[in-house]
Each structure stands twice: as C-alpha cells, then as structure tokens.
Structure 1
Amino acid sequence: MIREAAPAKVNLYLRVTGRRADGYHLLDSLAVFGPAADLVEAAPAEGLTLTVAGPFGAALAAEPDNLVLRAARALAAAAGIAPQAALRLEKRLPVASGIGGGSADAAAALRALDRLWGLGLGAGALAEVAAGLGADVPVCLASRPARMGGVGEALLPAPALPPCGLLLVNPGVPLATPAVFRARSGPFSAPAALPEGWADAAAMARDLAALGNDLEAPARALCPAVGEVLAALRALPGCLLARMSGSGATCFALFADAAAAERAAAELPGAWWRAAGAPGGFTPGRDGAYSTFGAGA
C-alpha cells in the first residue's frame, strides 16, 4: 500500500493579470500548502478502481470521472502500461472550496502510482503529465511554496517564508470557480513585487495585506458567508491577516505560530470546517499531522 498526502493549496494573495484568447484568466499568486490534507492510497490490483471515503467523500459520489482516475490513466498512457491499481481517496478537504483539493488529489495519485508501478519518472516527466490534468496540478505535485503565473502552471520559487501559523475556515458552502470568474469585473491587476523573503510572520502579513485577492469581491457577492468568515477571523486574538483563498469559499488567517492558530480555531462556530497548524508541514509520501475542528472533521 502506497500512501500520499494531498495537502490543501492556500493562495496568500491572488491577482488576475489578464485573459487569454481562449478565455482562461492569467494569474499572479503566492501559494503555500497545509495545514490539512486529503489522503490517496494505491495498492496493486487487476484493472483500475477508485473508492472514495472520508468526511467529504459523499460530495464526490455523483462525479462520473474523478480527477484521481484521470491522473492514473494519464500516467499509465505516458508510461505505456495498462492502468492497474486499487485507489482509495479519503476526502478530508471541503469540495469546491478554493484550496485545490481536486488538483492535490490528482497530484498525490501521480506520486503514489509512480512509486507503485516502479516507474521512477522523476519530477520533470511527472510535471508534464500533471500539466495535462489542470492548471493547479503542477504546483500541487511538489506541494512546496511557489509563485504561480500564467493560468497557474508557470511556477517560480517562492520568497523565503518565515515560520507562522495558518488557520483555514470554510462555512460549508460550495463555490464554483467558473461562476466566481464570470462575476468578476473591473480592470486587471499588475503582478506583485515581492521581496526575497520576510524576517517574521508580522512582516509577511504587512506586505501581503497590500496585495489582496481579486476574486474576493465577486465571491462575497455570490456567497455572503465569505464575508462572515472573514469578519470572524479578523476578530480573533493574534490574527495578523485574514483573506479568502483562491476562488473561495475557504478563508485563512495568519498567526505568529501554529499554537496561536490552533487556539484561535477553537473560538469559531462549530458548524464551520476548520484546520489549523503550520503551512508546509507535509512531506510527499507521508500523511502529515494536523488539527481539524468542526463540521466534517
């Protein structure tokens, strides 16, 4: 049995910088990972199957072709072999929530099957397969902090990030990414100018506060609960920055350390899904530890 964590992708800021002729929007974003994750397991089998379980597994029951299965078939095709594996997805992250859950699952499946099938393709070859599955899958493949450009597939090293705590909160309302982009209006933004790194979490939060998330306003119009979550996060003791991630509805708050984030999580409504800890706490190939609270935990 091969097990791979599929950590949440969190956009610390997100700017929409343009739009391609095919309709896809161009982005500039700084992504980090954690402190919660799905789990993908792969075992030898004849044929290809997928079992979905976990707190949010039922939300995927109606999907005709899960991205995990598409990743398995794409990897097998690239390697010239038959796709044979018994896959299991433990869905711990909310669905349609702006933290890249589906993309993270696909990336974890690629890593797990590369090991299970003994392919040893390496990062470059896996990244080529990942790029064909979706714009967010390449950044999720490494699950390391990165500066994202293009439609999300153009990756650069992130600035040096200081230790900090991260609290994720979802109000339990799915929010479809295409609908948020359609609701967006106004001019495009210029890419951000970032330093080489930050000395501490407070300095990082001050710089990030000026950058924003260009999708937050349309997301709040479609889902007023986003505004409720942000107001609650900003009122928490020790909160350095509160913002929506991706296209929502998950929001996050930055704290000086993981302990402060975990203490703050306990003060939020029990109906909300919450996860607290330190970003970057997951290593591919190992199911990382984290604290979750509330709905779906």
Structure 2
Amino acid sequence: MTTAEGFAPAKLNLTLHVTGQRPDGYHLLDSLVVFADVGDRLWYRPGPEMQLEVTGPFALGVPGDARNLVWRAAQACGWTGHIHLEKNLPHGAGIGGGSSDAAAVLRDLAGPVSAALDLGADVPVCLSGAPQRMQGIGEIVNVAPTVPRLDLVLVNPGDHVPTPRVFTALAQKVNAQMDDMPVFEDRAGFVEWLAAQRNDLQAPALSCAPQIATALQALEGADLVRMSGSGATCFGVFPDRQAAQAAAMRIAQAHPQWWVRACQSAGAARG
C-alpha cells in the first residue's frame, strides 16, 4: 500500500500588528507571514480506520486522537487511514505547529479550503508556502509578491506561552496596521522596511515569560531580531547562510537546552 509524504513548515510572523478586537473576543491582526525550511513531517497510508501516530523530539503531550488538528483535518478531507506525524517543532511556540500540520493535511489530501478557518485562525495562511499578508482574524490572506528569501536563526528557550494569556496581557487592543508594502528591489530594502514594523505581542509575552528576553539577546548581531507570533520563539535575520549557521552554533553551545535552528524562509515566486 502506497505511503505518501508531507511537510509542515514552521510559520514565522515577521510582523504582528494587533489592530482591534471584535465583540466576540477575536483579535484583528495585520501580519506578514513567511515559512521556513524546517518543520514537521507527515506520512499517509490509506486504510479503513483513522489512526494517528506521533513521534519525534516534541511528541510528548501531543494527542494522537480527534483532539489533534491533524485528525480533524483528515476528517474534513473525508479520508481515513494511518497518519504518522513527526513533531520536530516545539508546540506552543508561535511558529504554527498544529496549524501548519493541519494545513499540510488539507493540502496533501486535497481537502476543502473552506475547512481551514474552522480548524484554526492560522490554518488558512498555512495552506500556501509563499510569503503572505494575513489580516482580519486570519481569513484575509494575500500573497506578498516581492518578499525575498531570508537566512534566519530560530531560537526557542523552552517556555510554553499560552496565546490567550498573551492577548490578555496586551493592554492596547487597537494599534496601527502595517505600513504599506512597497516593491522590494533587494533584501536590504526589505529588512529596512521590516525593522519599522512591530510585533505587538512581544511586550506582553515578555511579561509572561521573561526568558524570551534572553533569547532575543542571544540573537544580537543579526540585522533584525524579533519574536514570532505570541512566542516564545524568536528569530534573527542574518546576512547569509554562513552567518546564520555560525550564529546558531554559537547560541546552541551557550544554551544547549534551547531549540536552535538555522534555516531559510521561502521567498516570493518571481515571474
């Protein structure tokens, strides 16, 4: 019986502006999202019953039943069989995790796009690996056509930061949206624009998990340092792959208990 393979990349919020809050409690966002070449892996083997096997360095605590978004995404596809999920990304880390896994299932099993938002606010943006601007509660997604490929280092100090707690700690719920995105002629122009943007959840996340500050400090020397999503993963933008790999090695040696990865983000497709 044929086994198909899938990949669920880490999702990075290079920016995350909180622009409002709806009466139902959902926050309105304006975020530039890219995807890295590190992530979870999935294998699919069709069969009469649904089964989910979870392995990998971050398998502990990940449910292997209908509580998992992978299971629910497969159900939305009308598919049954055995799915092997290899969890290589820390969960509760602000880099997609379960949302990227669910999007991979919808993509790999040709599921309905309409099911994405029902699975989670971050799932629609994860359906594509291209850089995208995500707005609203996650339902408004547009390709960011001139975002370049980036050399990055991802650092997670091991803190699990519950997203609802971070949003609760956010004092100002209505903030300015991202600046208009110009046509980026080169990487330097993009990084300059990016530095003028924000992650509005960084300060409240720091109040919940002070170790995030240590992770940000460890990335000093990068062209830009910021937290992704609601944390606790932080990223540094480096000039090239060699510089990113050297920085990752230095940080991993200094903090062997942290999750540290050098990686590249996918750039926009050029015509």
Which segment is superposed worse, 200-209 or 251-260? 200-209
Give the equivalent residue in structure 2 for 1:168. 154
| Count of residue pairs brought into register by the alignment | 262
Where does structure 2 lack aligned partners over 5 or more consecutive residues?
none
Contact 1:259 1:277 in 2 (8 A): no
Give the equivalent residue in structure 2 for 1:108. 104
Give the equivalent residue in structure 2 for 1:220. 206
Cα distance between partner residues in 2 of 1:252 and 1:152? 22
Cα distance between partner residues in 1 of 2:114 and 2:63? 29
Aligned with 2:235 (options 252, 264, 272): 252
Contact 2:46 2:80 in 1 (8 A): yes
Q: CA offsets, 1:42-66, max 9 Å, x none?
A: 1111210000000001131487611
Cα distance between partner residues in 1 of 2:205 and 2:69? 24
Give the equivalent residue in structure 2 for 1:207. 193
Give the equivalent residue in structure 1 for 2:27. 25
1:225-244 to structure 2, matched below 5 A, reads: 225-234=211-220, 236=221, 239-244=222-227
Q: CA offsets, 1:43-90, max 9 Å, x none?
A: 1112100000000011314876111001111221xxxxxx42101100
Give the equivalent residue in structure 1 for 2:261. 275
Give the equivalent residue in structure 2 for 1:266. 249
Matched, 1:93 2:79: no
Aligned with 1:189 (options 172, 175, 180): 175
* % identity of equivalent residues: 46
Where does structure 1 lack aligned partners over 5 or more consecutive residues?
77-82, 115-120, 282-297
Contact 2:106 2:113 in 1 (8 A): no
The normalised TM-score by structure 2 is: 0.92
The structural deviation recorded for 1:111 is 2.0
SS of the aligned residue for 1:110 comes to helix
- Say if 1:252 and 1:39 are closer, same or farther in 2 by CA, change over 3 A: same
Q: CA offsets, 1:81-131, max 9 Å, x none?
A: xx42101100000010000111000011112223xxxxxx6xxxx321212
SS of the aligned residue for 1:185 comes to coil
Cα distance between partner residues in 1 of 2:173 and 2:105? 38
Cα distance between partner residues in 2 of 1:233 and 1:197? 28
Cα distance between partner residues in 2 of 1:72 and 1:66? 10
SS of the aligned residue for 1:205 comes to helix
Q: How much is the aligned-residue C-alpha RMSD, in angstroms?
A: 1.6
The normalised TM-score by structure 1 is: 0.84
Cα distance between partner residues in 1 of 2:241 and 2:65? 35
Cα distance between partner residues in 2 of 1:273 and 1:165? 17
